[in-house]
């Protein structure tokens, strides 16, 4: 079914200690092919939402369905690609080359090859990058490799948590283009969490804006023209229209 719901969340509440709610009363539906930006200030609950969606933090209330199946019985995790919010400092400890890291996840014939994943992520000198050690990459290069890793099994749902951290503006723009191509060409549904409102590509982009108990679900264009933004973000901010799309 083309327009099938991929992520359904109803009245979700999440908590780490069982007493303080980090998310409360959150509901939304994301359908196949959509690219939705999860926007909100630091501490607003974006990463927590992703932890719930990948099954690592059980909801304290509400229902979550993935590909139409209740989270509790969902087992098809290969259909989901996840980029955790990277703590840059923890990565250089992995003593491997880019090629070795990617090859370790490219396990079936239908997966992307390491070279294909790197090409998709905009690397020109793919053979050269394959041989580089992870420790030798810049923050932006490493981030693109990690996104390539999340993509390698051609996931139907891609969850990217702060993928633009460490990227310069051209890097961010090309990442947004890659996301749009993935949704169109590979039928990928994408949720991309960011605290930076300036990475939202066009004014018609759907944003799910979250700050604990305050939510907004609609286009970024409407959000910036509403009172809701101040309530959620706690400050006035201006949308930068990158003029593409
Ligand atoms: N492992 C954890 N244990 C307890 N509290 C946490 C944990 N992770 C996040 N929190 C708290 O949950 C809230 C939301 O955090 P998070 O989901 O990381 O927000 P965001 O990703 O939007 O910055 C914050 O108040 C944060 O301190
Ligand atoms: Mg986060």
pLDDT tens column, 179-237: 888 888 888 999 999 998 888 888 888 999 998 887 899 998 888 877 777 677 764 44
User: Which of 21, 47, 52 is the pocket-test mutation for ligand 1 (most atoms within 8 Å of CB)?
Assistant: 47
- So what's the pLDDT on residue 188? 93
Q: pLDDT class for 90, splitting at 50, 70, 90?
A: low
User: For the residues 1-17, what does the mean pLDDT come to?
Assistant: 92
47 lines ligand 1 (CB under 6 A): yes
pTM, full prediction:
0.90
The answer on pLDDT for 74 being more than 90 is: yes
User: Which ligand 1 atom sits closest to the C-alpha of 85?
Assistant: 21
Residue 67 has pLDDT above 70, yes or no: yes
- When the pLDDT of each residue in the chain is averaged and rounded to a whole number, the result is 88
Task: Give the model's confidence band at 238: pLDDT under 50 very low, under 70 low, under 90 confident, else very high.
Answer: very low
- Distance, CA 40 to ligand 2 centroid (Å)? 9
Residue nearest to atom 24 of ligand 1 (CA): 43
Q: What pLDDT is attached to residue 21? A: 94
Distance CA 232, CA 219 (A): 15
Instruction: Write the pLDDT tens digit of every residue in 140-187.
Output: 888 899 999 999 999 999 999 999 888 888 888 888 888 888 888 888
Q: Which helix (H) or strand (E) holds 101?
A: helix 98-103
Are residues 16 and 171 in contact, defined by beta-carbon separation less than 8 angstroms? Answer: no
In three-state secondary structure terms, 236 is: coil
Atom of ligand 1 nearest to the CA of 17: 4
Pocket test for ligand 1, best of 20, 24, 42, 45 (most atoms within 8 A of CB): 45
CB burial of 94-114 (b: ≥16 within 10 Å; e: otherwise) equals: eeebbbebbeebbeeeebbeb
For the segment 117-131, the average pLDDT, to the nearest whole number, is 94
Q: Which atom of ligand 1 lies closest to the CA of 41?
A: 22
The residues near 212 (Cβ < 8 Å, ≥ 6 apart) are 21, 22, 23, 24, 44, 45
Asked whether the CA dihedral 53, 166, 135, 98 is positive or negative, the reply is positive
> Counting ligands in written order, which one lies closest to the CA of residue 49?
1
- 42 CB within 6 A, ligand 1: yes
Which pLDDT score is estimated for 44?
93
Is the distance from the beta carbon of residue 45 to the nearest atom of ligand 1 less than 6 Å? Answer: yes
pLDDT band at 242 (very low <50, low <70, confident <90, very high): low
Q: Provide the pLDDT for residue 245.
A: 40
16 lines ligand 1 (CB under 6 A): yes
Among protein residues, the one whose CA lies closest to atom 4 of ligand 1: 16
Ligand 1 site, residue 40, Cβ cutoff 6 A:
yes
Q: Is 46 in the pocket of ligand 1 (CB under 6 A)?
A: yes
């Amino acid at each position: 079914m083309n327009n099938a719901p991929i992520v359904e969340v109803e009245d979700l509440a999440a908590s780490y200690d069982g007493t303080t709610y980090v998310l409360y009363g959150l509901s939304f539906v994301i359908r196949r092919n959509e690219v939705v930006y999860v926007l909100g200030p630091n501490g607003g609950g974006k990463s927590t939402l992703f932890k719930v969606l990948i099954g690592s933090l059980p909801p304290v209330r509400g229902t979550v369905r993935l590909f139409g199946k209740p989270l509790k019985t969902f087992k098809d995790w290969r259909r989901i690609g996840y980029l955790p919010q990277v703590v840059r400092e923890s990565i250089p400890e992995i003593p491997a080359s880019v090629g070795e890291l990617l090859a370790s996840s490219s396990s079936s014939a239908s997966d992307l090859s390491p070279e294909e994943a790197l090409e998709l992520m905009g690397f020109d000198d793919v053979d050269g990058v394959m041989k580089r050690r992870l420790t030798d990459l810049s923050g932006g290069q490493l981030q693109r490799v990690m996104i390539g890793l999340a993509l390698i099994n051609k996931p139907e749902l891609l969850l990217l948590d702060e993928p633009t951290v460490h990227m310069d503006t051209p890097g961010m723009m090309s990442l947004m283009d890659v996301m749009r191509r993935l949704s169109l060409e590979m039928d990928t549904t994408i949720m991309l969490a960011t605290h930076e409102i300036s990475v939202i590509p066009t004014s018609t982009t759907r944003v799910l804006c979250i700050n604990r108990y305050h939510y907004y679900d609609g286009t970024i264009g409407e959000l910036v023209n509403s009172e809701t933004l101040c309530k959620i973000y706690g400050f006035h901010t201006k949308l930068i229209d990158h003029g593409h799309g």
